[in-house]
Chain A
Amino acid sequence: MTVSPLIQTKDLCKSYDNDGVVTPVLFDINLQISKGEFVAIMGPSGSGKSTLMHILGFLDAHTGGQYLFQGQPTTAFDDDDLARIRATRVSFVFQAFNLLPRTTVLQNIMLPLLYHPAVAVGEREKLALQAVETVGLMDRKDYVSSQLSGGQKQRVAIGRALVTNPEVIFADEPTGNLDSASGIAVMDALQKLNDEGHTIILVTHERATAEHARRIIHITDGRIDNDTRNFARVIASEKNHLK
């Protein structure tokens, strides 16, 4: 019996239709991502990398080809199915953090659990506190987002992404708004999550950030022009595992 890849696309296309003006963005994307991979999707601004991430993360729909999630075609999912997948199996870390204002670290991290159908009300705080602990913000759990630095905000966003224990975490330019030290801390946190078994799909235009991934997919003008193993990272990761 063959195991289906977690994510598989076949000739996936995406175009936008603005009042009859059709703008193609992605062309014939064919890729497979297995469970536990750390993949960076790289490309210049406007190349379509974020659009691809939104489609893979069920935030947007493709207009051609196929997208299979664990072997199931996603066109079979209705709005509620997609919402349930976003609530339970995938999560996001955005460049702009997207934290709720006037809301504490703990409440922000707890937010996805409101929409999780399988988490009991009494479990929420415990799970959220675990996530706060994981991202190292226990001493700031009652701070509101305006009292945090950029790096801390992104760690809250990572905590929010991992609190539901999703299979895939999508990170869209997670270091884009951070200084280099904070950026490294955020990437280390994502690396740690990957080591724990989460599949990480990272979108970035920075080579240094992409170097954290074990696989780098390069997109130019809506097409995959390179899909390579990042051997330096793979070797480093293997060394870590052997330690």
Chain B
Amino acid sequence: MRFRDTFRTALKGVTVNLSRSALTMLGIIIGVGSVVLMSSVGQSIQGVILSQISSLGPKSMVIFPGPEGLGPQGVTTGFDSLTFEDLSEIRKLKSITTVAPVIFVVAVTSYGNEEGNPRIVGATPEFFENQKLSASMGRLIDQEDLDGAKKVAILGSDALEKFFGSVSPLGQRIKIGETYYTVVGAMDPVGSQFGQNVDDRILIPFTVAKNVSGQKYLNLITLQAVDSFDLAFDDIRTLLRYRHGISNPENDEKKDDFMVHSSEQANRILGSVSLGLTMFITTVAAISLIVGGIGIMNIMLVTVKERTQEIGLRKAIGGRKRDILLQFLSESVMLTVIGGIIGMVLGVFLAFVISGIVRNYLSSYAFAVSVQSMVAAFFMALFTGIVFGISPARAAANLHPIEALRYE
């Protein structure tokens, strides 16, 4: 029997009872669809995180006060472990450069009738360099502002939108707490960095923030590694542990009263998250395809029973064992492959719909399709069809023609 005839016969077997074939394929459709959907969503999320990391540059680092585990959200909760003396000593390290201390000021901001609570960040010119922030209009904070403790403000894009809309803010005076500041610039939109919205910020000179807040400690320090991130990380950790009297030979980060985060580190975490995600998707795929495959095997066994007389007839008119085997194997493979293709289309469609919804809340979220995962899902579906179809097909092929013809 020629391959074309086998294919046609199998296709007829699949299409003769469409509703049953569709139900049989459901497991494979859901399995492949979920794999494609999850991998697509995973890739989109990776893209979002990567865009945040790459916006900082590969050598960018941040020192936060407080022990590891609190995350960057802990920076405003009053940990006072990073002192100005720490800053002076850190600046002396050879493995780092562009050290930029930051102080947050908690105050209500108003302009005209508009009032809000954007994060007020006291920063130095190096901060803009470290965070790759650029001016969309006007200028950024310079050394003169810093040295003269000038009451000037730079607006993040969200803050600009909130307080000024489409009106130019340059030269306007906004009130932060009880003090008025002249807006001298605005920044290009950035999105999130280390999990925080950078655009909802107003930046003022570090010296002004220090005076206004009266703080004796820093909320964070941004800096760049000169060369190796690991070397810079070790230097900072050793210095701060020494200065803070922390004995931590086992390097348990929870015992430290500071955290050092970096783009490199985030990249590594992303790598492990990706690996975890891949393993998760593979597990889901394996489970769903096994479930789907068992469904197909079950239906194929029923089909062989139902069509026993047909098998007997095909043998009586010259069908060889391998013709019968290939016919039924082709049917199960056809079910899984068609199911797989439907699943892929469905998965891509759902990923597209989800990306459309999420983009309303997260502009950097982009629709992504993993061709690798689609190819893998397709071949897994094909493999499932073969593995779970072989047993019913062999049962059909091994039927004795007379017993098959007499079967009722």
Contact = CB atoms under 8 A, between A and B. Distances in A.
Interface of A: 54, 57, 59-60, 79-80, 83-84, 86-88, 91-92, 94, 98, 100, 102, 111-112, 114-116, 121, 160, 164
Given A59-B401, A111-B314, A114-B1, 10 more contacts: A59-B315, A59-B405, A79-B320, A83-B318, A86-B318, A98-B309, A98-B312, A98-B316, A112-B317, A115-B1
A115 B2 CA distance: 8
Nearest to B319: A115
A83 B402 CA distance: 14
Contacts of A111: 313-314, 317
B68 interface: no
Interface in B358-408: 400-402, 405
Contacts of A94: 405
B313 A83 contact: no
Nearest to A100: B310
Contact of B317 (A60, A79, A115, A121): A115
Interface string B2-44: 1011000100000010000000000000000000000000000
A79 B402 contact: no
A39 to B, nearest CB: 19
A54 B318 CA distance: 14
Contacts of B321: 79, 83
B257 interface: no
B323 interface: yes
A106 to B, nearest CB: 14
Contacts of A114: 1-2, 5, 9
A91 B401 contact: no
A contacts with B: majority SS: helix
A70 to B, nearest CB: 18
A116 B401 contact: no
B contacts with A: majority SS: helix
Contact of A115 (B309, B310, B318, B400): B318
Interface residues of B, number: 23
Nearest to B310: A100
A98 B2 contact: no
Nearest to B322: A80
Contact of B319 (A54, A83, A100, A121): A83
A61 to B, nearest CB: 10
Contact of B315 (A83, A88, A102): A83
A18 to B, nearest CB: 12
A87 B315 CA distance: 9
A59 B5 CA distance: 23
Contacts of A57: 316
Given A98-B309, A121-B2, A160 B317 contact: yes
A67 to B, nearest CB: 16
A207 B193 CA distance: 97
Nearest to A124: B5
Contact of B402 (A60, A87, A121, A164): A60
Contacts of A86: 315-318
Contacts of A112: 317-318
Contacts of A84: 318
A116 B312 CA distance: 17
Nearest to A50: B402
A83 B9 CA distance: 19
A84 B323 CA distance: 12
Contacts of B318: 83-84, 86-88, 112, 115-116, 164
A71 to B, nearest CB: 22
Given A59-B401, A98-B405, A100-B310, A92 B316 contact: yes
Ranked nearest first, the 9 interchain pairs of A and B with the lowest CB-CB distance are A87-B318, A115-B318, A112-B317, A83-B320, A86-B318, A98-B313, A114-B5, A59-B401, A92-B316
A88 B2 CA distance: 16
10 contacts: A54-B402, A59-B405, A60-B402, A86-B317, A92-B316, A94-B405, A114-B2, A114-B5, A121-B4, A164-B318
Interface in B319-367: 319-321, 323
Contacts of B320: 79-80, 83, 115
Contacts of B312: 98
B70 to A, nearest CB: 69
B14 to A, nearest CB: 13
B77 to A, nearest CB: 73
A91 B316 CA distance: 8
Nearest to A98: B313
A98 B406 CA distance: 10
A59 B314 contact: no
B323 A115 contact: yes
